[in-house]
Amino acid sequence: MSTETIRGMDHVGITVSDIDEATRFFEEAFGAEVIYDSVSRSDDDVKGEETENILNLFPGTRITTVRMMTLKHGPGLELFEMKGPEQNQPVRPSDYGLQHFAVYVDDINEAISLFERAGGEMFTSPQPLMFPTEVGDNNFFCYGRTPWGSVIELISLPSRMPYEDHTSLRRWKP
Q: What is the pLDDT along the chain (174 residues), one digit of tens a residue?
A: 577 888 888 998 888 889 999 998 889 878 899 999 999 999 999 999 999 999 999 999 999 999 999 988 888 999 999 999 988 765 678 888 778 888 899 999 999 999 998 889 999 999 999 999 999 999 999 999 887 778 889 999 999 999 999 999 998 877
Terminal-residue alpha carbon distance, the chain: 21
- pLDDT score at 1: 58
Report phi then psi at 92, rounded to 5: -115, 160
Q: Cα dist. 141→22, 89, 124, 149, 165 in Å? A: 25, 24, 9, 19, 22
Q: Is 145 helix (H, G, I), strand (E, B) or coil?
A: strand
Burial of 92 (0-12, 13-18, 19+ CB in 10 A): buried
pLDDT in the model for residue 99: 80
Per-residue pLDDT, 150: 80
CA atoms of 62 and 47, how far apart (whole Å):
5
| pLDDT score recorded for residue 170 | 92
